[in-house]
Amino acid sequence: MSDFKLTRYRIKVSDDLRGPQQPFSAILLSDLHNASYGEGNSVLLQAIRNEKPEAVFVAGDMLVATQEPQMDVALALMDELTKQYPVYYVEGNHEYKVRKYTEVYGGDGNRFFEAIQSFGVHLLKNSCERIDLQKMPITVWGLELPWQCYRRFQKNELTAGQITELLGAPDEERYNILLAHNPVYFEAYAAWGAELTLAGHLHGGVIRLPYFGGVVTPQFRLFPKYDRGIFKRRGKQLVVSAGLGSHSIPIRINNPPELVVLDIS
Ligand SMILES: [Fe+2]
Protein backbone atom coordinates (compact mmCIF):
# COMPACT_ATOMS: atom_id res chain seq x y z
CA MET A 1 0.00 0.00 0.00
CA SER A 2 1.28 3.45 -0.78
CA ASP A 3 0.00 5.94 1.74
CA PHE A 4 -2.62 6.73 4.33
CA LYS A 5 -3.97 9.88 5.88
CA LEU A 6 -3.83 10.71 9.56
CA THR A 7 -7.21 11.81 10.91
CA ARG A 8 -7.45 13.42 14.32
CA TYR A 9 -10.57 13.74 16.45
CA ARG A 10 -10.85 15.72 19.65
CA ILE A 11 -12.82 13.86 22.29
CA LYS A 12 -13.91 16.03 25.19
CA VAL A 13 -15.01 14.12 28.27
CA SER A 14 -18.29 15.46 29.65
CA ASP A 15 -18.20 17.27 33.00
CA ASP A 16 -20.27 14.46 34.61
CA LEU A 17 -17.30 12.11 34.40
CA ARG A 18 -13.70 12.40 35.49
CA GLY A 19 -11.51 13.42 32.57
CA PRO A 20 -7.76 12.91 32.29
CA GLN A 21 -5.29 14.82 34.42
CA GLN A 22 -3.40 15.62 31.23
CA PRO A 23 -4.81 15.39 27.69
CA PHE A 24 -3.61 12.26 25.95
CA SER A 25 -3.79 10.47 22.61
CA ALA A 26 -4.96 7.01 21.68
CA ILE A 27 -4.91 5.22 18.33
CA LEU A 28 -7.80 3.56 16.53
CA LEU A 29 -6.84 0.87 14.02
CA SER A 30 -9.41 -0.85 11.86
CA ASP A 31 -9.74 -2.88 8.67
CA LEU A 32 -6.05 -3.24 7.96
CA HIS A 33 -6.88 -6.40 5.98
CA ASN A 34 -3.28 -7.49 6.23
CA ALA A 35 -1.98 -4.42 4.35
CA SER A 36 1.54 -3.17 4.91
CA TYR A 37 2.85 0.37 4.70
CA GLY A 38 6.57 0.01 4.19
CA GLU A 39 8.65 -3.04 5.06
CA GLY A 40 7.19 -4.60 8.21
CA ASN A 41 4.64 -1.77 8.36
CA SER A 42 7.46 0.57 9.33
CA VAL A 43 5.65 3.67 8.00
CA LEU A 44 2.49 2.89 9.94
CA LEU A 45 4.43 2.06 13.10
CA GLN A 46 6.38 5.31 12.90
CA ALA A 47 3.17 7.33 12.46
CA ILE A 48 1.77 5.64 15.58
CA ARG A 49 4.95 6.22 17.57
CA ASN A 50 4.93 9.90 16.61
CA GLU A 51 1.65 10.27 18.50
CA LYS A 52 3.01 8.75 21.74
CA PRO A 53 -0.35 7.11 22.41
CA GLU A 54 -1.40 5.84 25.82
CA ALA A 55 -3.29 2.94 24.20
CA VAL A 56 -4.13 1.35 20.86
CA PHE A 57 -7.71 0.31 20.17
CA VAL A 58 -8.33 -2.20 17.39
CA ALA A 59 -11.83 -2.39 15.92
CA GLY A 60 -11.36 -5.60 13.92
CA ASP A 61 -10.75 -6.93 10.41
CA MET A 62 -7.00 -6.83 10.64
CA LEU A 63 -6.74 -10.03 8.57
CA VAL A 64 -8.44 -11.28 5.40
CA ALA A 65 -10.66 -14.35 5.50
CA THR A 66 -9.62 -15.88 2.19
CA GLN A 67 -9.35 -19.68 1.82
CA GLU A 68 -5.81 -19.42 3.13
CA PRO A 69 -6.35 -16.59 5.64
CA GLN A 70 -3.94 -13.70 5.13
CA MET A 71 -2.78 -12.74 8.59
CA ASP A 72 1.01 -12.66 8.69
CA VAL A 73 1.20 -8.85 8.43
CA ALA A 74 -1.51 -8.36 11.05
CA LEU A 75 0.30 -10.72 13.43
CA ALA A 76 3.62 -8.92 12.97
CA LEU A 77 1.98 -5.55 13.61
CA MET A 78 0.35 -6.75 16.83
CA ASP A 79 3.68 -8.19 17.94
CA GLU A 80 5.38 -4.81 17.43
CA LEU A 81 2.62 -2.70 18.98
CA THR A 82 2.38 -4.74 22.16
CA LYS A 83 6.08 -4.11 22.83
CA GLN A 84 5.23 -0.45 23.44
CA TYR A 85 1.52 0.01 24.11
CA PRO A 86 -1.47 -1.65 25.72
CA VAL A 87 -3.53 -2.96 22.79
CA TYR A 88 -7.28 -3.66 23.11
CA TYR A 89 -8.80 -5.73 20.33
CA VAL A 90 -12.27 -6.72 19.21
CA GLU A 91 -12.86 -9.03 16.28
CA GLY A 92 -14.46 -8.00 12.97
CA ASN A 93 -16.41 -10.18 10.59
CA HIS A 94 -13.21 -11.51 8.99
CA GLU A 95 -11.78 -12.76 12.30
CA TYR A 96 -15.24 -14.10 13.18
CA LYS A 97 -15.41 -16.17 9.99
CA VAL A 98 -11.92 -17.59 10.36
CA ARG A 99 -12.58 -18.42 14.02
CA LYS A 100 -16.01 -19.93 13.54
CA TYR A 101 -15.72 -22.02 10.36
CA THR A 102 -12.99 -24.41 11.41
CA GLU A 103 -13.95 -26.88 8.64
CA VAL A 104 -12.98 -24.21 6.08
CA TYR A 105 -10.13 -22.45 7.83
CA GLY A 106 -8.70 -25.34 9.82
CA GLY A 107 -8.55 -23.56 13.17
CA ASP A 108 -6.51 -20.61 11.89
CA GLY A 109 -8.82 -18.21 13.71
CA ASN A 110 -8.04 -19.68 17.08
CA ARG A 111 -4.34 -19.76 16.23
CA PHE A 112 -4.50 -16.06 15.34
CA PHE A 113 -6.17 -15.16 18.63
CA GLU A 114 -3.82 -17.36 20.65
CA ALA A 115 -0.84 -15.70 18.97
CA ILE A 116 -1.95 -12.12 19.56
CA GLN A 117 -2.80 -12.91 23.16
CA SER A 118 0.65 -14.43 23.62
CA PHE A 119 2.08 -11.08 22.47
CA GLY A 120 0.00 -9.37 25.16
CA VAL A 121 -3.01 -8.11 23.18
CA HIS A 122 -6.08 -7.66 25.39
CA LEU A 123 -8.67 -9.56 23.37
CA LEU A 124 -12.16 -8.46 24.40
CA LYS A 125 -14.80 -11.09 23.74
CA ASN A 126 -18.02 -9.67 25.12
CA SER A 127 -15.95 -8.55 28.06
CA CYS A 128 -14.29 -5.45 29.45
CA GLU A 129 -11.18 -4.21 31.14
CA ARG A 130 -10.95 -1.33 33.58
CA ILE A 131 -7.98 0.91 33.01
CA ASP A 132 -6.81 4.35 34.09
CA LEU A 133 -5.20 6.55 31.43
CA GLN A 134 -3.78 9.80 32.81
CA LYS A 135 -5.87 9.07 35.94
CA MET A 136 -9.05 8.93 33.86
CA PRO A 137 -11.14 5.87 34.81
CA ILE A 138 -12.04 4.07 31.58
CA THR A 139 -13.82 0.80 30.94
CA VAL A 140 -12.98 -0.67 27.53
CA TRP A 141 -15.60 -3.07 26.20
CA GLY A 142 -15.38 -5.41 23.22
CA LEU A 143 -18.64 -6.47 21.61
CA GLU A 144 -18.64 -9.65 19.55
CA LEU A 145 -21.52 -8.98 17.21
CA PRO A 146 -23.79 -11.88 16.26
CA TRP A 147 -23.26 -13.06 12.68
CA GLN A 148 -26.68 -11.74 11.61
CA CYS A 149 -25.28 -8.23 12.14
CA TYR A 150 -22.98 -8.81 9.16
CA ARG A 151 -25.51 -10.16 6.65
CA ARG A 152 -25.12 -8.56 3.26
CA PHE A 153 -28.65 -8.14 2.01
CA GLN A 154 -30.78 -8.06 5.12
CA LYS A 155 -30.49 -5.63 7.99
CA ASN A 156 -30.65 -7.24 11.38
CA GLU A 157 -31.94 -5.22 14.32
CA LEU A 158 -29.82 -4.93 17.44
CA THR A 159 -31.21 -3.34 20.60
CA ALA A 160 -29.62 -1.90 23.72
CA GLY A 161 -31.28 -4.76 25.64
CA GLN A 162 -29.49 -7.35 23.50
CA ILE A 163 -26.19 -5.58 24.10
CA THR A 164 -26.86 -5.69 27.85
CA GLU A 165 -27.47 -9.45 27.55
CA LEU A 166 -24.08 -9.82 25.86
CA LEU A 167 -22.04 -7.38 27.94
CA GLY A 168 -23.95 -6.51 31.09
CA ALA A 169 -24.54 -2.88 32.05
CA PRO A 170 -21.93 -0.17 31.45
CA ASP A 171 -20.04 1.29 34.41
CA GLU A 172 -21.86 4.34 35.69
CA GLU A 173 -18.94 6.25 37.14
CA ARG A 174 -16.42 5.46 34.45
CA TYR A 175 -15.98 6.47 30.82
CA ASN A 176 -17.18 3.56 28.72
CA ILE A 177 -15.38 2.98 25.43
CA LEU A 178 -17.05 0.34 23.28
CA LEU A 179 -15.15 -1.43 20.51
CA ALA A 180 -17.76 -2.70 18.03
CA HIS A 181 -16.74 -3.48 14.47
CA ASN A 182 -19.99 -2.52 12.71
CA PRO A 183 -21.04 1.14 13.21
CA VAL A 184 -24.55 0.62 11.82
CA TYR A 185 -25.92 0.03 15.31
CA PHE A 186 -24.77 3.34 16.79
CA GLU A 187 -28.25 4.14 18.19
CA ALA A 188 -28.19 0.89 20.17
CA TYR A 189 -24.61 1.43 21.37
CA ALA A 190 -25.53 4.95 22.55
CA ALA A 191 -28.74 3.75 24.20
CA TRP A 192 -26.79 0.99 25.97
CA GLY A 193 -24.52 3.67 27.44
CA ALA A 194 -21.24 3.78 25.51
CA GLU A 195 -19.81 7.28 25.87
CA LEU A 196 -17.54 6.56 22.90
CA THR A 197 -17.91 3.78 20.33
CA LEU A 198 -15.01 2.94 18.01
CA ALA A 199 -15.84 1.13 14.77
CA GLY A 200 -14.79 0.54 11.16
CA HIS A 201 -16.13 -2.09 8.75
CA LEU A 202 -17.60 0.18 6.03
CA HIS A 203 -14.27 1.33 4.52
CA GLY A 204 -15.52 4.92 4.31
CA GLY A 205 -18.12 3.95 1.73
CA VAL A 206 -15.39 2.91 -0.79
CA ILE A 207 -16.13 5.76 -3.24
CA ARG A 208 -16.89 9.20 -1.77
CA LEU A 209 -18.84 11.95 -3.48
CA PRO A 210 -19.05 15.58 -2.41
CA TYR A 211 -22.24 16.20 -0.31
CA PHE A 212 -23.29 12.52 -0.41
CA GLY A 213 -20.30 10.96 1.34
CA GLY A 214 -19.67 7.23 0.98
CA VAL A 215 -21.43 5.46 -1.89
CA VAL A 216 -21.24 1.75 -1.12
CA THR A 217 -19.97 -0.56 1.60
CA PRO A 218 -17.91 -3.73 1.13
CA GLN A 219 -21.25 -5.45 1.89
CA PHE A 220 -22.78 -3.72 -1.17
CA ARG A 221 -25.09 -1.42 0.80
CA LEU A 222 -25.60 2.02 -0.74
CA PHE A 223 -25.02 5.38 0.96
CA PRO A 224 -24.17 4.17 4.48
CA LYS A 225 -25.03 6.66 7.23
CA TYR A 226 -21.99 6.11 9.45
CA ASP A 227 -19.33 5.73 6.78
CA ARG A 228 -16.33 7.54 8.23
CA GLY A 229 -15.94 10.37 10.73
CA ILE A 230 -17.33 11.36 14.09
CA PHE A 231 -21.03 11.25 14.95
CA LYS A 232 -23.02 12.30 18.03
CA ARG A 233 -26.28 11.05 19.49
CA ARG A 234 -27.81 11.39 22.98
CA GLY A 235 -24.58 13.04 24.11
CA LYS A 236 -22.63 9.93 23.04
CA GLN A 237 -20.05 9.74 20.29
CA LEU A 238 -19.08 7.34 17.55
CA VAL A 239 -15.80 7.41 15.65
CA VAL A 240 -15.71 5.37 12.45
CA SER A 241 -12.41 4.66 10.79
CA ALA A 242 -12.35 4.33 7.01
CA GLY A 243 -9.83 1.56 7.59
CA LEU A 244 -6.32 0.99 6.37
CA GLY A 245 -6.86 -1.73 3.79
CA SER A 246 -9.53 -3.13 1.51
CA HIS A 247 -11.20 -6.33 0.35
CA SER A 248 -14.31 -7.33 -1.68
CA ILE A 249 -14.23 -4.00 -3.56
CA PRO A 250 -10.48 -3.35 -3.85
CA ILE A 251 -10.69 0.33 -4.74
CA ARG A 252 -10.94 3.64 -2.91
CA ILE A 253 -11.89 6.85 -4.68
CA ASN A 254 -11.67 10.17 -2.85
CA ASN A 255 -11.46 8.00 0.24
CA PRO A 256 -7.88 7.44 1.43
CA PRO A 257 -7.00 4.77 3.98
CA GLU A 258 -6.67 6.35 7.40
CA LEU A 259 -4.98 6.12 10.73
CA VAL A 260 -7.22 7.63 13.42
CA VAL A 261 -5.84 9.51 16.40
CA LEU A 262 -8.11 10.35 19.32
CA ASP A 263 -7.05 13.38 21.36
CA ILE A 264 -8.83 12.91 24.66
CA SER A 265 -9.17 15.77 27.14
FE1 LIG B 1 -15.54 -5.68 8.28
Contacts of residue 259, defined as CB under 8 A and 6 or more positions apart, other chains included, come to 4, 5, 6, 7, 27, 29, 44, 47, 48, 244
Instruction: Quote the pLDDT of residue 245.
Output: 93
State how far the Cα of 123 lies from the Cα of 193, in Å rounded to an integer.
21
State how far the Cα of 160 lies from the Cα of 193, in Å rounded to an integer.
8
State how far the Cα of 45 lies from the Cα of 234, in Å rounded to an integer.
35
Mean pLDDT for the stretch of residues 181-192: 97
Q: Indicate the pLDDT class of residue 1, thresholds 50, 70 and 90.
A: low
Instruction: Quote the pLDDT of residue 2.
Output: 65
Helices 93-100 and 108-119, axial angle in degrees (round to 10): 120
Centre of ligand 1 from the C-alpha of residue 18, in Å? 33
Of 14-23, 163-172, 190-199, the one with minimum mean pLDDT is 14-23
Instruction: Quote the pLDDT of residue 248.
Output: 74
Centre of ligand 1 from the C-alpha of residue 151, in Å? 11
Q: Which residue has the higher pLDDT, 141 or 223?
A: 141
Mean pLDDT for the stretch of residues 183-198: 97
Please state, for a pLDDT cut of 90, what percent of the chain lies above it.
73
Note if the pTM is more than 0.85.
yes
Q: Which CATH number is 5-264 given?
A: 3.60.21.10
Mean pLDDT for the stretch of residues 249-255: 82
Centre of ligand 1 from the C-alpha of residue 91, in Å? 9
Centre of ligand 1 from the C-alpha of residue 15, in Å? 34
Helices 42-50 and 72-82, axial angle in degrees (round to 10): 30
Interval 109-168: pLDDT, tens: 789 999 999 999 999 999 999 999 999 999 999 999 998 898 876 678 999 999 999 999
State how far the Cα of 19 lies from the Cα of 216, in Å rounded to an integer.
37
Q: Give the SS3 label for residue 173.
A: coil
Residue spans per domain, the chain:
5-264
Centre of ligand 1 from the C-alpha of residue 61, in Å? 5
Task: Assign residue 52 a region (left: φ > 0; alpha: ψ between -120 and 50; beta: otherwise).
Answer: left
User: Does position 169 have pLDDT exceeding 80, yes or no?
Assistant: yes
Centre of ligand 1 from the C-alpha of residue 1, in Å? 19
Instruction: Quote the pLDDT of residue 121.
Output: 98
Q: Indicate the pLDDT class of residue 89, thresholds 50, 70 and 90.
A: very high
Centre of ligand 1 from the C-alpha of residue 166, in Å? 20
Interval 32-70: pLDDT, tens: 999 999 999 999 999 999 999 999 999 999 999 988 889
Centre of ligand 1 from the C-alpha of residue 134, in Å? 31
Centre of ligand 1 from the C-alpha of residue 19, in Å? 31
State how far the Cα of 132 lies from the Cα of 248, in Å rounded to an integer.
38
Centre of ligand 1 from the C-alpha of residue 71, in Å? 15
Centre of ligand 1 from the C-alpha of residue 204, in Å? 11
Centre of ligand 1 from the C-alpha of residue 214, in Å? 15
